[in-house]
Chains A and B, each alone.
Chain A
Amino acid sequence: EIVLTQSPATLSLSPGERVTLSCRASQNIRSYLAWYQQKPGQAPRLLIYDASNRASGIPARFSGSGSGTDFTLSISSLEPEDLAVYYCQQRNTWPRTFGQGTRVEIK
């Protein structure tokens, strides 16, 4: 089973700041990684797929990068509505696995 480790666990930043979230895989998953956003009380939604492709309707301030074992989700300028938990997920092998999540708080 591929283990995804996200860091940090929690991030607290001010609106307008740049946000960088990390996801590290326990083995090579090529570019087969997605990021999901889960706002309080809501279901998750797909943000980024195949490491760097934005899903439809996702604002341009969200971007993803990486391949192999190290991946990054960036928010170029944090907005108050970005308050959420962000999860990474791999599709390289079964079982599909998620990271434990990074909580983004707004100062």
Chain B
Amino acid sequence: EVQLVESGGGLVQPGGSLRLSCAASGFPFSIYGMSWVRQAPGKGLEWVSTIRGGSGDIYYADSVKGRFTISRDNSKNTLHLQMNSLRADDTALYYCTKGPGGVGATQLREDYFDYWGQGTLVTVSS
């Protein structure tokens, strides 16, 4: 059974930093893409960043480029998101997702966000 468990959220002041983590289990982590998707309170879903499995290719939304860094530790089956220069509009529930893609993706559904964690809340406020 695929499980994704996020941690690291909390209250931080504008301009501050936070590091999110996602512990993954139930699938061969290293060969799948992993992503972060966020949801501001009462709002819709916004893709944040993806790191491919295998190639390690990385993609960012323009809204976070230059401030956020996605990384993965395949030895620990863990995904990270380093968030710097945080702003009030970064306040959101941050979901870790499996996908899209990666060298292990052999089924069409794996080109999407096919599994989601329960999220970790980041609040940026003074």
A contacts, CB < 8 Å to B = 32, 34, 36, 38, 43-46, 49-50, 53, 55-56, 85, 87, 89, 91, 94-101
Do A46 and B61 contact each other (CB < 8 Å), given the known contacts A87-B45, A95-B47, A97-B47? no
Residues of B in contact, count (CB < 8 Å): 22
B7 vs chain A, min Cβ distance (A): 15
Contact A98 B116, beta carbon cutoff 8 Å: no
Among B35, B62, B117, point to the contact of A43 (Cβ < 8 A): B117
Give Cα A89–Cα B37 distance, bound, in whole angstroms: 12
Residues of A within 8 A of B50 (CB): 96
Interface of B, helix, strand, loop or mixed by DSSP: mixed
Task: Give the complex CA separation of A65 and B117 in angstroms.
Answer: 28
Question: In the assembled complex, which residues on chain B have CB atoms less than 8 Å from the CB atom of A94?
Answer: 59
Q: Chain A's nearest CB lies how many Å from the CB of B43?
A: 9
B105 CB, nearest partner CB in chain A, Å = 11
A49→B105 CA distance, assembly (Å): 14
